[in-house]
Chains A and B, each alone.
Chain A
Amino acid sequence: MLIINCPYCGPRDQSEFSNGGEAHVKRPDGSKEIGDREWGEYVFIRANPKGLFYERWVHTHGCRKWFNCVRDTSTDKILVTYKLDEKKPNLNNFKSVVKTPSGEPEVGSGNFTVEK
C-alpha cells in the first residue's frame, strides 16, 4: 500500500487512486495516416521495467484528476508526482534506491530472505 501525493489534493491513501499504466505514451494523430505498427504499439505495447518508471494515476475517489509520477517498480516507492502539463522529470535525477529487492536477480523475481 502506498501513500500517493496527488498534485491537486496532497498525500492520500492508495485506495483512493487507480493506476493508468505507462505515462507519456502519445496517441497518434488521427488526422494523419497511421501505420499498422505505429498504431499497434500505441494500443498494445507498454514498457514494464524493473526500476524507475513513468506512470499515470487518477485520483478516482478524490478530485478525479489524472497525473503522472515516477515510481520505482522494484521498491514501489513513488519518487515524484506531477501534473499532466508539467515537463517529465529526468530519470537521472533519481536513484533507484535498491535496484532489486532482497538481492533478487535483475530479471525475474525470487524469494530470497538470506543474504548470499
Chain B
Amino acid sequence: MKSINLKENQFIQFHQKISFKFDGVKYFGYKGDTIASALLRNNINLVGRSFKYHRPRGIYTCGIEEPNALVQIISEYSEPNTRATIKKIYEGMEIESQNRWPSLENDFGSINNLFSPIFSAGFYYKTFMGPHKKFWKNLYEPLIRRAAGLGKPPKDFKGISNHIHHNVDVTIIGGGLNGLLAAKSFINSNYDVLLIEFEEQLGGIINNSNKISLIDNKEPKDWLKETIQEIEESKNVKILKNTLVTTYNYINHLIAIEDRFVGSKPIEGKVNSTLHKIRTDHTILCNGHIERFLSFQNNDLPGIMLSSSFEKYICRYGIAPSKEPVIFSNNSNSNSLVYSLIKAGLKPKAYIDSRSGEKIEPNLFDLIRKNDVPLYTNSQIKGAFGSKKIEKILIEDSSGALNEIKCDQLCLSGGINPDVHLFTQSKGLLDWDEKDLTYKPSKPFQPTITLGSASGQFNFDHLNSDINDKLKNFKIKKLDVKLELNTNAKYNIEKLWEVSPQKKSLWTKSFIDLQNDVTTKDIRQAITEGFDRIEHLKRYTTNSMGTDQGKISSINALGIVSDLLDKKVNEVGTTIYRPPYAPLSFSAIAGRNCYEFYDPERKSPIHNWHLNNGAIFEDVGQWKRPWYFQINKDETMHEAVQRESKNVRENAGILDGSTLGKIEIKGEDALEFMNLIYTNSFTKMKQGSARYALMLGEDGMVKDDGIICKISDQHFIATTTTGGAATVLGCMEEYAQTEWPNLKVFMNSITEQYATFNISGPKTREIMKKAFPDINFSNEEFPFMTFQFHEFNGVPIRILRASFTGELGYEIYIPSNSALKIWEGIQSFGKEFGLAPYGTEAMHLLRAEKGYIIVGQDTDGSITPIDLGLSWMIGKSKKDFLGKRSLTRSDTVREDRKQLVGIVPSNKEDKLEEGQHIILEKEIKSPVPMLGHITSCYHSSTLGHDFALAVIKNGHSMIGTKAYASTSSMSTTGVDIVKPVFYDEDNKRLVS
C-alpha cells in the first residue's frame, strides 16, 4: 500500500516535521498528525494483532470509534489501549503495537487462528471443563490470559487530574455544523451556554468531508472561521475543546474529560486532564453519527477502512492512505468520498454498490462515468484476500459472475447510525427507522434535544426548520442558513448486513466485532444454542463488549439477528450503551482524591512524640493510634503488649486517648435531652460526677458507649468511642431537630479541641501528686467517677477519675495546643514510679481482663444491654429513651439470645483464637450447631493463661458449664464458660 501526501491545510503543517518511534523504528510525521495518520504516511497499516485469533489488524477508522488500532504509548508511562486514530503525535513519542510476541510481523499467538474452530462462541465455558476443576485455575486461565487481551498494564505515574464543576443553562455536545449553528443562535441570549467539542478544532463535517460546497455563499472554511470568532467573542457561550462527554447521568448531569496535553507529552506532576462535571438545564446533542462496516470474508484485513474515515484523512490530514482505493457501499453517504478523491487528483479503482442502478444518485453516475471509474451495481464483495494486508477482492456482480480485482485499499460503508450512546445513557428511548435502517432517538427522558445526524437527519434538507423548531421554546434568534452541497446525495440505503463467502471452511471468517474477534458464525451458533435474546447473545458471544462498545458494528449484529430470527429489529431490541462513552482513566475519576488526599489521616496533637518514641500505629477509622511502643527493634508485638499491660498492673501506664469522641451538650433542657438519648438516668446524678452510659438504636441494640460528665443540669460533656463520634453527634442532632424540637439544647463536637491522657495503675496517685502538686487526689477529695476543673500553668484542664483498665486511673483533658508540654511533664514525673506509655492493644487486653466491652468488637448491632449483663444501666423509671420500648419486644426478651460470657481454656496451657465458634461437641461433625463465637481473646501475663469474651446462646445461664472452642486447625479446645470478668471482680483497685 502506498499512501500519498496531498495539500497542506489549516490542520496539518508539512514544514513542521515530528519524529516518533513505532516498535523501535524511527519515523516522521507532521504537526497535527494522529498516530494513525502518521503511520499511514509511512505506509504502515499493520498496527496490531487481534484479541483472540491474533490476526493482523490495521487502521479501520479515523476517530474514536476505532476498534483495531489500539497501541501502547511507551513514552507516556506505557499507557495501553490508546486509540491511534485520535492520539496526536509529538516529538520523541514512543509507540508499541499490542498483543503480539515476539514481534508484530511474526506473532507466535497467530497460531490461535489455526485453532480458531475451537475458539467459537462460549468456548471458555465449554472447552476447558476437565479433567479436574483445578486445571482451569492453574493451567487454562493463565494460558488464555497471556494469549488473549489488549495492552499491558501501565507503569506507575503520578498523573494529576482536576475536577471542575459547571452550572449552565444549556450544554451543546458536539461542535460540528449543527452544534455551531445552535451555539450561534444562543449568542447574546439570556442563557449560559457550554459548547463541548471532542476534537481540537470545531467544524466536524465541514473539516472532515467535502460534502458542503458553500455556506451562506461563503467557502465553508471562511464561514467556519467567522462563526467560531463570533461564538468566542460572545459573553454567554463558552467553548470547551479536546473534551469528550463520556457520561450522561440523571437530572442532566454530564461528565466530560478534557485532555490537557494534546500533541505534547504529559508532564509528571502537572495536571494531565480535567474532569468536567456539568449540571445543565438543557442538553442539546449534536454529536453526529458513526459509519458502520459490513461483514464479508476477511473484512478485518489491514487496508480496509470505513469510507468516511478515508475521506477524513484526505480532508483533515492531507493524506490519501491509498492512491486508488476500491469503494464498496450500500448507501449514498460515500458519494462524497468519490468526489474528494477526484478533487485530490485521484480516483477509485472501482466503485461497487449493492444497490441497483436506479437507486444511485444521477450525479454520482456522472462523476463515475466522466472519470472512467469501473462501476459495479447490484454487486457485492464476497471476500478480501491477502496476507497481513489486502491484496485482492472477489466481487459478485449483478449477473452472478465473479470478478477478482487486485487492490491495496478497500473503503467500506454499511450505512450510518446516529451516535445514540449519550441519548440512551440519558434513558431516552430509541425507535427503529425502517427506511434508514437504524435506531434513532425518539422519546427523550430528560430535557434533551437532538439535532442533525445525531437525531437521524441524514440529509441537510430541513437544517433550518429542524433547528428552529426544536429550539423554539428558548425564544432565541431564528436561523436562515443557505447550504450548497457538492454531492446532492440523499441518504438512500438498501439493506445489506452480511455477504456470505464464496467457499466456506472451518477457517472462513466474517467479523461482526473486530475488537473482540466475534464472527457472524458465532452469532449463528449462539442462536442455535438458544441464546436468542440480544442481551444473552451479547454476553455469550462477547459481541460489542470491547472498549469500543461495537460502535461500528453493533447495529449490524442486530440486523443479522433479526434476519435469522425473522423478527423486526425493534422486536429484537438493542443492548444498552453504558457509560463511559469511551474509556477514561481512573486517575481522572479520582481527581485530587488520591495519594495523601485519598482518605484524610487524623492525628493526635502529640502524634510526633509517638513517632519519636517507637510507636507502631494502628488505623482506627481515620485516626492513627499507637498500637504499642517498641522499646527496641527486636521486641515483638506480643512482648511489647505483655510488658505494657504488666506495667500498668504493677506500676502505672499512660495512654493517649485524644481520639475519643467528645461532645459538649448545653441548653436549658440539656438534662431532659440526655435522659432521652442515653439509657441511664442523669436526674439524680450530682454535679461534678460522671457516669458510664449506653446509647441504643430504636431497635434496642447497643450503638455506642461513653462517659457522661455532668457539669450542671444545663451542661454535659459526653465521650464516645473513637469510631462512633460522628454517628453519635449526628444522632443527637437528628433527634434534637426532628423528634424533640421543643427542647432547648445544642451540641457541638469538641473532639479535636481537647487532648485526653488516660493514666492508670497502682502508682498513679503518686505520679499525679507530683505532676499536679496543688490538687488533692485523696479518695475522699477526689472519689471514683468524679471530675474537677483546674488551672495548670495557665492552662485550663479537666481531670476525671475513671478507668478503662481496672486500676486506679485518671483522665486528663487538656486544650490540644498545650497537650505536648503536659504529656512530657507527666512522663518525667512518672519516671521514678515506672510510668510507661502503652498502646491500644495493651488497653484492649487490660479492659478485657475486667470484662469491659468494646462496642463494635464484642457487640455487632444485634446485642442489647441485657445481653451484655448491663441491665443495671437502664433507667427503668424513665418514661422514654432511644430504644426503650424495643427492650420488651418479643425478639429482645427471647430466651436463647446470644449473651456475653467469659471463656477460659479448661487446660490452662491451651490457646484460644478470636472469631472461633463455641460448640458443645468435642468432635467436629458437620453440621455443627454453634452456640456463638469468641469476640475478644488475649493472653494475660497477669492471669498466666489465655482468656476470652464470647457471645453465646443463653450464655448467662451457661456460666459454670463446659464447652468447646473450635480452632483454626479444625480441632477443638475444651473451655470453661465463666463470668465475663477475670480480674478484681469487686473493683477494689478501681476505687482505692
Contact = CB atoms under 8 A, between A and B. Distances in A.
A42 B698 contact: yes
B576 interface: yes
B251 A1 contact: yes
Interface string A1-27: 111000000000100000010000001
A65 B737 contact: yes
Interface string B894-919: 00000000000000000000000000
Interface stretch (A46-54, A87-95, A107-115): A107-115
B886 A39 contact: yes
B445 interface: yes
B22 interface: no
A101 B446 CA distance: 10
B688 interface: no
Contact of B576 (A44, A84, A98, A111): A111
Interface string B880-891: 110011100110
A101 B425 CA distance: 12
Contacts of B535: 111
Contacts of A77: 251
A66 B424 contact: no
A111 B578 CA distance: 11
B430 A113 contact: yes
B669 interface: no
Given A36-B889, A39-B885, A114 B432 contact: yes
Contacts of A112: 429, 573
A75 B428 CA distance: 12
Contact of B429 (A27, A64, A103): A103
B668 interface: no
A3 B442 CA distance: 27
A29 B739 CA distance: 10
A113 to B, nearest CB: 5
A30 B737 contact: no
B443 interface: yes
A27 B734 contact: no
A51 to B, nearest CB: 15
A27 B576 contact: no
Given A58-B734, A66-B738, A76-B250, A31 B573 contact: no
Contact of A84 (B575, B698, B699, B741): B741
Interface in B718-752: 730, 733-734, 737-739, 741
Nearest to A76: B250
A58 B431 CA distance: 41
B890 A1 contact: no
Interface in B852-909: 879-881, 884-886, 889-890
A82 to B, nearest CB: 14
B445 A98 contact: yes
Contact of B698 (A31, A43, A66, A101): A43
A113 B573 contact: yes
A105 interface: no
A56 B884 CA distance: 24
B886 A84 contact: no
B253 interface: yes
Q: What's the interface size class on B, roughly?
A: 35 or more
A21 to B, nearest CB: 11
B574 interface: yes
A45 to B, nearest CB: 12
A84 B738 contact: yes
B733 A113 contact: no
Given A1-B250, A20-B734, A30-B879, A102 B886 contact: no
A86 interface: no
Contacts of A85: 741
Contacts of B738: 56, 66, 84
Interface in A31-82: 31, 34, 36, 39-40, 42-44, 56, 58, 60, 64-66, 75-77
Contact of B699 (A43, A56, A111): A43
A34 B885 contact: yes
A84 B879 contact: no
A106 B251 CA distance: 21
B49 interface: no
A84 B742 CA distance: 13
B884 A102 contact: no
Contact of B885 (A28, A84, A101, A103): A28
Interface in B566-625: 570, 573-577
A73 to B, nearest CB: 12
Given A36-B889, A84-B737, A101-B445, A113 B576 contact: yes
Contacts of B575: 113
Contacts of B431: 114-115
B251 A2 contact: yes
A115 B570 CA distance: 8
A39 B739 contact: no
B251 A115 contact: no
A31 B880 contact: yes
Closest 8 CB pairs of A and B: A30-B880, A115-B429, A31-B879, A66-B737, A1-B253, A114-B573, A39-B885, A76-B250
29 contacts: A1-B251, A2-B251, A13-B165, A27-B739, A28-B885, A30-B879, A39-B885, A40-B889, A42-B698, A43-B698, A66-B738, A75-B250, A75-B445, A77-B251, A84-B737, A84-B738, A98-B445, A112-B429, A112-B573, A113-B429, A113-B574, A113-B576, A113-B577, A114-B429, A114-B431, A114-B432, A114-B570, A115-B429, A115-B431
Interface of B: 165, 249-251, 253, 279, 424, 427, 429-432, 439, 442-443, 445, 535, 570, 573-577, 698-699, 730, 733-734, 737-739, 741, 879-881, 884-886, 889-890
Given A43-B698, A114-B430, 9 more contacts: A2-B251, A3-B251, A30-B880, A39-B886, A66-B733, A85-B741, A111-B576, A113-B430, A114-B429
